[in-house]
Structures are given as structure tokens and as C-alpha cells.
Chain A
Amino acid sequence: MSELLVGMVITPLISAFLLSLTAVSHRVPHTVMMRIRNTFSVLALTALVIQLLLLAPRVLSGEVVTYTLGGWTPFMGIALRLDALSFMVAAVSVVVSFLGMVYSFSYMEHIRGLGKYDAFYFLMVAGIMGVLLTRDIFNMYVFFEILSISVYILITTGEKKENYRASLKYLILGSVSSAFFLFAVGITYAITGSLNMDHIAQVMPAIMEEDPFPVYIIFSLILGSMGVKSGLVPLHFWLPDAHSMAPSPVSALLSGIVLKISIYGLLRLSFLFGDSFLASDSVLMIVGVVTVVVGSVLALVQKDLKRMLAYSSISQVGLIMTGLGIGTDLAVQGALFHVVNHALMKSGLFLCAGVIIHQSRSREISRISGVSPGMALCFVILSLGIVGVPPLNGFSSKLVILYGAVEAHYTSVAGVIVLASVLSCGYYFRVVQSVLTPRKWKRTYNPPVPWTMSFPVYFLTAVCVFLGVFPLLGLSVAELAILVGGG
């Protein structure tokens, strides 16, 4: 059974290389090739879903599934591990990447070299699964690099000049942050003599007692590195460019999943230093609150729809970081639930924005017109979810974070979060108003929306409403994740 863990990394990796074969020049007609490619991608992602479902009952009963590669002892070799924390993030990632793939069947049709796009898409999924499953910190670095390099390439698939600029900016900052991470890995190896997370966690308390200085350096390097990758405020300036310039399905993956993977990395690595290391100092909380405020204020002044969504992502990541920084069980539980919720809502919004831009042929918020009623409804529901209106999932996770903040006597933090929610009303309702207002000028030809583009949006909206009506489902998984993931 635990061999499935290898399968979860290998399946997207093999698919990536097989799909890259479809990019070489061949005599097969274009339409046939496209059908082969689509069928193959759906099959590969279905296999991934089935593997996750097979493991789900064991993981959700609180068990930890471990597999050691090549049968080496965990101290020497690389171990893969799936617990409730990684399962939660992995499940959301697989669902969103599946929907993103379905969406790009028609959205990316006009892009040259579609085989290249598919190959790097699957390479990115392989990187995501690798980061989530591995128990070896150097291996984590390698999977982060696989993930980042495929993301840099995916951003350029639009082939406009802004794409190259955004990708290069992201590449330089991403490489510097990866180097910081590698440096932290080196220092960890020097002081603990191991790269395995279980072993490091065992040795760490003794080292902390003897001389905490190198541990602080390691943690600052990790925080800096993951801060760049997840767009915390002084380090966020690459994010709006990269997320708004990428094609819509890639934006959805970037904002929904890739940011969360960095948050997962930070959380997972913080467990090495003890149970509530993130909260032992209020730095993360303060940075989180600043991120919430700056992200919201900058989102207010944006004219471009996707750029506005990108800034809103910054603010929501800040909210999650605040929850992690407060550090009480309740706040962390809320933050983890918000990781899931934001991944679903924001990828839904980006996919929806892709349809809206397709229909109104403009990215400017004030020029949006001719949106079909179904899409408008989805956009309104998802926006209300992000703002945090009661029957939706964003409300329950925000409420739990707020409750955690008040319980830990950070009332001012709770106040700032509420203020940021009010600000988010401001920038989302501007779009909602623009979507719902009938335009005076003549309706030109309204481009049809293929079902592959509308289905993912409807599905994500339905999941958001479902999680909003039954929030205890998500909250109990998050509770289990804290309980099991900490060990």
C-alpha cells in the first residue's frame, strides 16, 4: 500500500516526459495528436486521484504512511511520508491541477507547442507532489527547484514581452531564495549530521539548549526563502507581475497551489525546531498583518482584473501567515482550513477571470461587459467567499482565525483582519458591479464558452459552497493535520 507514495511522484513525472514526445515534429494530424494528448493527461491525473483516494481512509484515520526508497534505513536514504497535513494540501492540489488541465484544453488551444505546455504542467505537478511527500530536506530543495523551473517556463507560454519580463524577474528572485534554502540545508547538515527530518527533529532540542545561534540562522534563512516564494510583504514585488501575466489556468495554479506549497514548506520545516516554534516570537504575526494591509490597499488601486486578484492573493497569504504566527491550536487550525479554502476560491476566481476576459475582450475592470449569467453568478459567489460572507467557506476559516486571535489576546490583530475584509469588499464589489451592470454600447458578437472552460469554474464554486455549508469537514481534517503533522 505504501508503494503508492512513490506512484504519486512518479505518475506526473513519467507523464511529463511522455507528453514532451508529442511536442517533437511528427506526421500525425494536429487534431488526432491533440486528442491523444488530452486523453493521456486526463488518464494520468485520474490515476493520481485514485492513488490519493486509496490512501485516504488510512491517512484520515490518523495513520502516517511511510515508504523508504530503495529499502535504505531512513537515516541513510530518502523517505516519503503522507500524513494528514500533506494529504490535505495534496488533495487540493490534485483537484485544482485536474480542473486547470481541463480548462487549458480549450483555453490554451491557440498556443504554439502545446506539448511543451503540457509537459511542464505535469513537471510542476510532480514538483508539488514531491515537496509534499518528501522527508529529506535536500530532496525538498530539489523538488522546489523542479517546481520553480517549470513555473518560470509556464509563465512564458503567453509569448508576449511582459511574459518574459515577469518570468525573468521571478527567476532571479526565486533562484536567490532557493540559494538561501540550500544554505540553510548546508548549515543543518553541518550541525546535525543528517538530512532526514525525523532525525533532525530528534537532535534539535539538544542543540537548541547548547547553542541556539545556528538554529536561529537556519530558521531566518528558511523564513526568508519561503517568504519570497509565498510573497510576504517586503518580498512580494515579483508576485503581481508573474501571477497576472501567466495564462489563466497557470495563474490559478500559481495563486491557488504554488503559494500554498511554500506555506506548507515553512510549516513543515518549522516542526523541526519544536512544536510551536513559529509562534515563539511574534515576527511572523506582525509580517502577516502588514502583508494583509498592504495587499488589500494595493489591490484597491488596481485597474487590471488579474492584477487585482494577484494583490488579493498577497493579502490572503498574509492572513494565513497571521494565523500561523498567532500559533494557538485554534488559529493554526483556521489558517490550515484557509489554505484549502483560498486555494479553491482563488483558483476558481482566476479561471472565472479567464472566461470573463475571454468574453469581454478586455482585462480592465471598468471595461468588463457581456459576461454570461452563469459566470457572473460564479464570480459573485466566489468573491463573497473571499470577502467572508456567512454561508461560504471563506467565512468559517476567517472566523476561526479571528476567534483564535481574540482568544490569544491579540484583539488589535483581529481588528486589522476585519478591516482588511471590509477593504476586500471594496475591491471585489467594484468588479461585481462592473460584471452585473448592463452596458450601453452595442453588443458585438459574444464568443461562446466551451464546456471545458465553464465546468471547472462551476465545480470549484460548488465545492466552495459545500465546504461553506459543512465547515466541520474541513476543520476536522485541519485539526487532525495539526495533531499528526507535528510529530
Chain B
Amino acid sequence: MSLHLVNGITIGIVLFLIGVFGCMTQRNLIKIVLCLDIMFLGLILFFVGLGYTEGGTAPILGGYSVYVDPLPQTLMLTTVVVELSVTSLALALAIRVYEQYKTLDIEEVRT
């Protein structure tokens, strides 16, 4: 049964869930931002896994019979850009929060 359990889809979902868990449990702001990253990377892997066909090639020019679905990959290019901007904005805000509160612990960032 080893053939289909370890693939992009399952690993992607597991990474996504790890990311969500981390976002809920971590107290350090930098770690939370990293967990957001892990979450989105899991989703990217999930999407790319959706389009994968065993032994497929890239559908660029003719001369292929089995090819990989290119749509999820193009979608993921957009997601990478979105995720990059979210991460950079989150880190910029974390710097400002650290400047104002002198701590990165979200439990202490009150009032």
C-alpha cells in the first residue's frame, strides 16, 4: 500500500494542518508568521499534487500522450505572489509591534 499514500496531496494536507495548528498554538509572532508560510506551502504542494499524472510531461509543444495538468501550477504562481506579500506585510507589522511593545510574545502584546 505504499504506492499512493505518500504523494503531494496527502503531504500537502498534513503540512496545511500543521500550519493551522501552529498558528493557533504558538505565542511568538515570528513563529506564527512561519506557520502561515507552512500552511500556504502545504496548499501549494496540494494543488500541484492535484495536477500530477504519473509519467506525464509538460504540455508545451506537441509529441506527448500523457501530460501533467498545467492549470494548478499556473494558479500556484499567483498564490506564491500573494503569500509573499502577506508574509512581508506580516513581518513588517511584527517589526512595528516589537518597536512599540518591546516584545514579540502575543500574550504580552495587550492594551
Where the two chains meet, the residues of A that have a C-beta atom closer than 8 Å to any C-beta of B are 138, 142, 145, 149, 152-153, 156, 161, 164-165, 167-168, 171-172, 175-176, 179, 182-183, 186, 189-190, 195
Contacts and interface: CB of A to CB of B under 8 A. Distances in A.
Interface string B80-107: 0010011001100110110011000000
Contacts of B72: 186, 189
Contact of B20 (A152, A176, A182): A176
Given A176-B36, A176-B39, A183-B46, A168 B16 contact: no
A304 to B, nearest CB: 13
A164 B97 contact: yes
Given A142-B82, A175-B36, A176-B39, A156 B46 contact: no
Contacts of B75: 138
Which 8 A/B pairs are nearest by Cβ-Cβ distance? A161-B100, A164-B96, A168-B93, A145-B82, A164-B97, A179-B39, A175-B36, A190-B50
24 contacts: A142-B78, A145-B86, A149-B89, A161-B97, A165-B97, A165-B109, A168-B29, A168-B90, A171-B93, A172-B32, A175-B40, A175-B90, A176-B20, A176-B23, A176-B36, A179-B20, A179-B36, A182-B40, A182-B43, A183-B16, A186-B46, A186-B72, A189-B47, A195-B71
B20 A171 contact: no
Contacts of B47: 186, 189
Contacts of A164: 93, 96-97, 100
Given A161-B97, A165-B97, 10 more contacts: A156-B93, A164-B93, A164-B96, A172-B23, A172-B90, A175-B40, A179-B16, A182-B40, A183-B43, A186-B50
A230 B65 CA distance: 47
B26 to A, nearest CB: 10
B109 to A, nearest CB: 6
Contact of B40 (A153, A168, A179): A179
A171 B86 contact: yes
Contacts of A161: 97, 100-101
Interface of B is mostly: helix
A145 B71 CA distance: 20
B96 A172 contact: no
A142 B19 CA distance: 20
B79 interface: yes
Which of A138, A142, A149, A179 has most chain B Cβ within 10 Å? A179
A120 to B, nearest CB: 11
A138 B75 CA distance: 8
A179 B17 CA distance: 11
A145 B39 CA distance: 16
Nearest to B87: A175
A190 B43 CA distance: 13
Interface of B: 16, 19-20, 23, 29, 32, 36, 39-40, 43, 46-47, 50, 71-72, 75, 78-79, 82, 85-86, 89-90, 93-94, 96-97, 100-101, 109
Contacts of A149: 85-86, 89
A152 B39 CA distance: 20
Nearest to A164: B96
A182 B75 CA distance: 11
A78 to B, nearest CB: 12
B80 to A, nearest CB: 12
Nearest to A161: B100
Contacts of B101: 161, 165
Given A149-B86, A152-B89, A186-B50, A168 B43 contact: no
A175 B40 CA distance: 9
Nearest to B50: A190
B106 to A, nearest CB: 8
A183 B97 CA distance: 30
Contacts of A168: 29, 90, 93-94, 97
A138 B74 CA distance: 11
A171 B96 CA distance: 14
A182 B85 CA distance: 16
A171 B90 contact: yes
A167 B47 CA distance: 29
Contacts of A172: 23, 32, 36, 90
Contacts of B36: 172, 175-176, 179
Contacts of B90: 168, 171-172, 175
B20 A189 contact: no
B10 to A, nearest CB: 13
B23 A171 contact: no
A255 B44 CA distance: 32
Nearest to B33: A172
Contacts of A190: 50
Nearest to A173: B23
Contacts of A156: 93, 96
Contacts of B29: 168
A164 B94 CA distance: 8
Contacts of A175: 36, 39-40, 86, 90
A276 B53 CA distance: 37
Given A145-B82, A189-B50, A167 B93 contact: yes
A245 to B, nearest CB: 12
A406 B13 CA distance: 43
Contacts of B79: 182
